[in-house]
Amino acid sequence: RSRVATSDDALALLAEAERLAHMGSWRWNVDAEVIELSTELYRIYGEDPDSPPQAFDHFTERVHPDDRDRVIATLRAAVASGEPYEHEYRVQRSDGTIRWVLSWGEALERVEGKGRVLGGFLQDVTDRHRAEERRQRAQSQLETHRQLLEGLVRGQALPDALASLCTDLEARFEGARCTVQLTDDDAGILRLAAAPSFAETFRTAIDDLPIVRGLCPCSTVAATGRAVVLEDLRTDLVMAPFFDVAEEAGVVSVWSLPLKDRDDEVIGTFAMYRNRPHVPGEEEVETLTAAANIAALAVERHRREEATLLATQTDLLTQLPNRVRFRALVAAALAEQQPHVTILFCGLDRFKWINDSMGHATGDRVLVEVAQRLQDTLGLLHPLSRFGSDEFTVLVHDPTPARVTSMVERLHSAFAEPFLVEGGEFFLTVSIGIAQSNGTVTDAEDLLRDADAAMQAAKQRGGARHLIFDQGMRERAVARLTLESELRRGLERAEFEMFFQPIMNLRTGTWIGVEALVRWRHPQRGIVGPDEFIDLAEETGLIIPLGQQILDMTIEQMAAWQADDIDVEVAMNISAVQLSDPLIGTHLANALAAHKVAASRLVLEITETAVMVEPEFAQMALQNIAALGVRLVIDDFGTGYSSIARLSELPVVGLKVDHRFTSGLGVQDSMESMVAAIIDLGHALDLTVVAEGVETPEALEILQRLGAEYAQGFHLARPAEAAELRVALQGPGPDVLDLASR
């Protein structure tokens, strides 16, 4: 009994050891074709341990069909040679489950060198194989992840990257077809991003699906953030609206799961369809979940890049597309070979004055309101951009002449209401240039340049109007750019000089002063008059440095005359742009002090229009200048829209009658009456009157008779360099005829 008990205990311990090691033993009598298995080995094969011994063929039938021939061949070779062996194969249990086993065997009894009894051990290594499979799947998923992200970095379109991911999954799972849909939160829909193996009919049916719970699996997933599995969608009434299209596509089952970003927000769905009833298995769940995570990462990365790109293409102030984005839109429209791509190039008239006089913060507020008005006028159909500081552009798709005319009229009308600026009202107008491709212009830059040229031409004709581009505008625009470049170089090289035109006292017949007039000694063109470059200098802001040079040269010449005991007053023009420069007073004071010139000997002339555009600001600026002792005169009087009440409040000492009035004296009787009225008005306001543009003896005689104090013009003397005027200014009085002949 002791020996039997000991033997039973040993067998029990062996059985327990085999169970813990997932290892069983076997013994095969080759001649009897009977195989004996240990209890654990029965379990590994999925057989009943209490069943009677089975024939060898019974257990070879449990070997997976793909491995069976190899296993039988290995056993037969061991029988023939008597040599030990080791191999792995799969066992397919009666319930369909698969187990991997590692088998060792050798001949226990030999007859004539051949094994007659074989035995060995068999271990269940399924867990190791599954771990290796998981490792390989993870490696494959990482490789797919890497390829997808590398593709995006190299510029691959997101739909193409997602389609590649779908194709990879379809190759892994027989009969599977995949789709990716992305959320459009603004529209509340799912937009199809990838469905590489579906026909267009099915793609159309699942595109732009509302994000609504219960509509279909993907809509529900997007709405709830939870996966949905339909083993057989033909039995689900929710899918009734899609039965026909699903049947046509051969779709029977679907598994859809959400794509989520780092904030756990749903950004899309990933779905796998089958042509038979199906529930995803463990491997499929693991693989598709990993794929969904990869897709979500790619989508989130793409959207971040899009947001970054959009930020670089958006004007921060108005939130409109900027010039980079607008240029791309125009290029895309031209690339599509649209027959009549049209650009409206809108430039605000006199906007620079707001920035210069009232500050950029006020200007920014006005620009935001301008953008809103234009957007409200155009709607969303035609892209609007802020192309430059005070320039806006519109892209018109498929325009007709009537539509373009209507749009332009509506854009002009958007400025009918005043803008509120610093508690007051300010009216703006807009100049609009129109350029059309007409199938001939294929480059976005060329079309934009043409529209800009038309806008500049509209401004040069007074603004508040629109013009259609023609070839002459391009030539003038090129000439304008060339002139601007030369003007900048001229400032750098100090190519500007001062000429002076004497001013006569009509009561005494003596020279009382001169007007300083700038000339440009152009290296190729010679002497260029101010009419050719002052307007451009004001438009480009170059008038500020140019004005500073003019001021310095004028006061320097005043100091030279003063050193030669030549007592002469000097008048010089100052533009509205210069007047808005907050440093103008400082520049004046510094220049006068540096050259030790009395401020009272300097007269600044400012045009009537410049003063009256914003009289409150002008009054403050002029008072600051007058406080230095500099005298002020209103230039070009009679050509603007002065308010007499406003004029009386300004610190000015005189009026200058514009040459357009004096040139008619002695020719038109009505002109004499008008000049008389201006002189009388000036005297009524206790202002002296200077008449410019005096070109005939008749005009001079009439001005003397009407009571004008001072006059200048070609009849009296032409502008000349300081050295040429030296003798005349030192004499007792002018010889009109001799001086005029110079």
Alpha carbon dihedral 8, 9, 12, 17, in 10-degree steps, equals: -140
Helix (H/G/I), strand (E/B), else coil: 112: coil
Residues near 741 by Cβ (< 8 Å), separated by ≥ 6?
Answer: none
Q: Is the pLDDT of residue 497 over 90?
A: yes
Dihedral sign (CA 290, 296, 302, 308)? negative
**600-636: per-residue pLDDT in tens?**
999 999 987 777 656 666 778 889 999 999 999 998 7
Which residues, 6+ apart, have CB-to-CB distance to 554 below 8 Å?
A: 498, 516, 570, 572, 602
- pLDDT, tens only, 251-294: 999 999 999 998 999 999 999 999 999 999 887 888 888 888 88
For residue 645, what pLDDT is reported? 65
Q: How many CB atoms lie within 10 A of CB 185?
A: 10
| DSSP 8-state assignment for residue 436 | E
> What strands, in cross-sheet order, belong to the sheet with 228-230?
209-210, 189-194, 177-184, 266-274, 253-260, 228-230
Neighbours of 152 (CB within 10 A): 18
Predicted local distance difference test score (pLDDT) of residue 411: 93
What pLDDT, on the 0 to 100 scale, is given for residue 626? 92
Per-residue confidence band for 546, with pLDDT thresholds at 50, 70 and 90: very high
Cβ(383)–Cβ(314) below 8 Å: no
Using the predicted structure, report yes or no on whether residue 10 has a pLDDT greater than 70: no
- Residue 523 has, within 13 A of its CA and on its CB side, a CA count of 9
Length of the chain: 742
Cβ-proximal residues to 562 (8 Å cutoff; 6+ apart), any chain: 596, 597, 601
Count CB neighbours of 675 within 10 A. Answer: 24
What pLDDT score was predicted for residue 151? 65
Which pairs from 713-716 meet CB under 8 Å and 24+ separation? 713/659, 713/662, 714/740, 715/740, 716/502, 716/504, 716/740
Per the structure block, which two tokens stand in for 630? 């500099």
Residue 2 reports pLDDT greater than 60: no
pLDDT band at 738 (very low <50, low <70, confident <90, very high): very low
Q: Are 691 and 708 in contact (CB under 8 A)?
A: yes
Lowest model confidence (mean pLDDT) among 363-377, 468-482, 535-549:
468-482
Q: How confident is the model at residue 518, as a pLDDT?
A: 96
Quickly state the pLDDT bin for 1 (edges 50, 70, 90).
Answer: very low
Mean predicted confidence (pLDDT) in 69-91: 87
d(CA 181, CA 184): 10
Q: How far is CA 607 from the centre of its chain?
A: 41
pLDDT in tens, 290-308: 888 888 988 888 888 888 7
Segment 160-180, tens digit of pLDDT: 889 988 998 898 888 999 999
Specify the range with the lowest mean pLDDT, choosing from 60-74, 606-620, 662-676, 726-740: 726-740
Higher pLDDT, 643 or 530: 530
Angle formed by the axes of helices 282-312 and 158-172, to 10°?
A: 170
Report pLDDT digits (tens) over 693-724: 999 999 999 999 999 999 999 999 999 999 88
Query: Cα(39)–Cα(41) distance, rounded to whole angstroms?
Result: 5
pLDDT of residue 58: 77
Q: Residue 5 pLDDT > 60, yes or no? A: no
Per residue in 634-665, pLDDT (tens digit) is 987 766 555 566 777 889 999 999 888 998 88
| 73 vs 117, higher pLDDT | 73
Residue 347 pLDDT: 95
Confidence of residue 514 (pLDDT cuts 50, 70, 90): very high
Q: At 556, is the pLDDT very low, low, confident or very high (cuts 50, 70, 90)? A: very high
pLDDT of residue 736: 42
User: How distant is the alpha carbon of residue 16 from its chain centre?
Assistant: 73
Residue 741: what pLDDT?
34
Cα torsion 643, 644, 645, 648 to 10°: value is 120
**Number of other residues whose CB lies within 10 A of the CB of residue 437:** 22
So what's the pLDDT on residue 13? 56
Bridge partners (DSSP) listed for residue 35: 28, 54
Least confident of 29-33, 499-503, 612-616, 646-650: 612-616
How far is 397 from 324, CA to CA, in rounded Å?
19
Q: Indicate yes or no: pTM above 0.85.
A: no
Q: Over the chain, what is the mean pLDDT? A: 85
- Rounded distance between C-alpha atoms, residue 207 and residue 726, angstroms: 87
The angle that helices 471-492 and 543-563 make with each other, rounded to 10 degrees, is 40
The answer to whether residue 6 scores a pLDDT higher than 70 is no
Q: What percent of the chain has pLDDT over 70?
A: 89
pLDDT tens digit sequence for 361-413 = 888 999 999 999 999 998 877 899 999 889 999 998 767 888 888 899 999 99
For the record, the structure tokens of 526 come out as 């010679």
- Provide the pLDDT for residue 533: 92
pLDDT over 60 (residue 310)? yes
The predicted pLDDT at position 118 comes to 82
Q: Provide the pLDDT for residue 740.
A: 35
Burial class for 591, CB neighbours closer than 10 Å (0-12, 13-18, 19+):
buried
For residue 602, what pLDDT is reported? 96
Q: For residue range 313-323, list pLDDT tens digits in order.
A: 889 899 999 99
